[in-house]
């Protein structure tokens, strides 16, 4: 059944296909439910998904969102929507640079390296004792948990996108167990 209107009181418990709500949910977590006039649900999705995504970055640093070096994980993180692509783009362009004399792959800087432009306008790492690069590569458990949090955020947002796309006006809740008389 196709019904693009945000609410249809005549069919309260039937599943409705709402493409615009799905599209809005893809653009920003929770926006699809706000469009469906379930604001508290949309706010819950936004707080949960964006909290996990940016919480993951807070735990592991911006290094946890990396489409070049952690491609498989980024597939999951990309489900957060344009926010994930913006963070990755910012990471790739503002924090990485090439090895001197190499143009194959950009990488995160190590302690004692300074990021600067060469005469051709290409960002390279230059040895500079005492310097700290613009960000640090995260390792070990902190990297694992940060990456996991950002990826789970994307997977939860997929659930929210599908819920907004195939929307039900009311939810079936499991009733509490009856007390014996």
Q: Is residue 169 a contact point for another protein (CB under 8 A)?
A: no
Alpha-carbon span 22 to 19, nearest angstrom: 5
The least distance separating another protein from the CB of residue 179, rounded to whole angstroms, comes to 18
Which residues does 172 contact at the CB level (< 8 Å), separation at least 6?
none
Q: Is residue 97 a contact point for another protein (CB under 8 A)?
A: no
Is the Cβ of residue 26 or residue 62 nearer to another protein in the bound state?
A: 62
CA distances from 84 to 29, 42, 64, 102 (A): 11, 19, 11, 28
User: Following DSSP, what letter does each residue of 47-69 receive, concatenated?
Assistant: HHHHHHHHHHHHHH-GGG--TTT
Q: Is residue 159 a contact point for another protein (CB under 8 A)?
A: yes
Of the candidate spans 12-20, 71-79, 114-122, 130-138, the one that interacts with another protein by CB under 8 A turns out to be 130-138
Return the residue of 21, 26, 49, 79 that touches another protein, per CB under 8 A.
Answer: 49
Which structure tokens are listed for 132? 């700290």
Helix (H, G, I), strand (E, B) or coil at 36: coil
Q: Is residue 7 a contact point for another protein (CB under 8 A)?
A: no
Q: Is residue 154 a contact point for another protein (CB under 8 A)?
A: no
Return the residue of 13, 40, 104, 180 that touches another protein, per CB under 8 A.
Answer: 40
CA distances from 80 to 16, 29, 52, 89 (A): 23, 7, 10, 14
CA distances from 135 to 10, 43, 81, 96, 126 (A): 55, 31, 24, 9, 15
Return the residue of 41, 106, 107, 115 that touches another protein, per CB under 8 A.
Answer: 41
Return the residue of 11, 37, 58, 166 that touches another protein, per CB under 8 A.
Answer: 58
Q: Is residue 153 a contact point for another protein (CB under 8 A)?
A: yes
- Residues of this chain that bind another protein (CB under 8 A): 30, 33, 40-45, 47-49, 51-52, 54-55, 57-63, 95, 111-112, 129-130, 132, 134-136, 138-139, 141-143, 145-146, 148-149, 152-153, 156-157, 159-160, 163, 170-173
């Amino acid at each position: 059944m196709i019904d693009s209107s945000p609410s249809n009181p005549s069919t309260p418990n039937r599943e409705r296909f709402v493409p615009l709500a799905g599209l809005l949910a893809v653009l920003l977590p929770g926006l699809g439910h706000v469009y469906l006039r379930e604001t508290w649900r949309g706010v819950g999705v936004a707080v949960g998904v964006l909290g996990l995504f940016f919480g993951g970055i807070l735990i592991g640093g911006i290094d946890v969102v990396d489409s070049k070096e952690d491609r498989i994980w980024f597939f999951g993180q990309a489900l957060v929507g344009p926010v994930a692509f913006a963070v990755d783009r910012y990471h790739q362009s503002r924090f990485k640079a090439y090895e001197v004399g190499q143009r194959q792959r950009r990488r995160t800087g190590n302690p004692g390296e300074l990021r600067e432009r060469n005469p051709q306008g290409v960002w390279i790492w230059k040895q500079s004792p005492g310097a700290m690069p613009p960000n640090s590569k995260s390792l070990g458990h902190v990297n694992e948990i940060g990456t996991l949090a950002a990826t789970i955020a994307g997977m939860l947002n997929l659930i929210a996108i599908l819920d907004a796309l195939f929307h039900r006006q009311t939810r079936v809740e499991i009733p509490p167990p009856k007390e014996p008389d």
